[in-house]
Amino acid sequence: MNDFSGFRSIPTTTLADLLGRAQVMDVGIRPLWSPVPRVAGPAFTVRCPPGDNLMLHAAVHRAEPGAVIVVESEDMDYALAGGNVCAVARRRGVAAIVADGLIRDLGEVREAGFPVFARGVIPIPGSKAAVAPLNDPVRCGGVTVRAGDIVVADEEGVVVTPGPGDRQEQVLADARKKLAKEADETLDAWEAAHRARIDTILRDQGFTE
């Protein structure tokens, strides 16, 4: 699958319903400014050891336009990137950075309108010494991410669709079908179906009030 643009119209809530908890990053990976646009693109994966951000800085110059740079770090003491790095990423067409770590210069990043999903901010930068391969599988927010997986991120969170391949096409088709069905359903119809389902569950569990 070469066209990822279709996923930009799919909310993360819809993808989470289809893919399940294992493909949803934990609540700590969140947008660092708001309102953030929904972003979607193929993962460009990076691993940075604690205290070092060299490979993220290298990735900014190597990721293709439209990519989402996904960083494994789990470093809560040093920033992985700052305002200039994010500005260069935006200028090169990178869709977003999703990092299991911290950034700095949040005001600059917000003013530039560059989407960053991470654990927070800290003013001190990491060093640049540790070389590691790019586009190896990484763990970010509890999810294994591989190069070419589709990353969709919005104000609700970050969801990863494994790929590339037919599964991504099927997930996109299923998501569109689900959204179309929901759009055609009135709130009255939804309420009636929801009430019936909840009452059935309660009755099956012996709840009689």
pLDDT < 70 positions in the chain: 1-3
Q: CB of 99 within 8 A of CB of 68?
A: no
pLDDT digits (tens, 9 = 90+) for 146-190: 999 999 999 999 999 998 778 899 999 999 999 999 999 999 999
pLDDT at 79: 98
Q: How much of the chain is helix, strand and coil, in % rounded to 5?
A: 35, 25, 40
pLDDT at 1: 43
Half-sphere exposure for 10 (CA within 13 Å, toward CB): 30
The single-letter DSSP state of residue 24 is B
pLDDT at 163: 85
pLDDT at 179: 96
> In which region does residue 160 sit, left (phi positive, over 0), alpha (psi from -120 to 50) or beta (all else)?
beta
What residues are paired with 31 via a beta bridge? 117
pLDDT at 209: 77
Q: CB of 159 within 8 A of CB of 25?
A: yes
Torsion angle, CA of 171/172/174/175, rounded to 10 degrees? 110
pLDDT at 2: 54
Q: CB of 157 within 8 A of CB of 16?
A: yes
pLDDT at 202: 95
- SS3 state of residue 189: helix
- Model pTM? 0.93
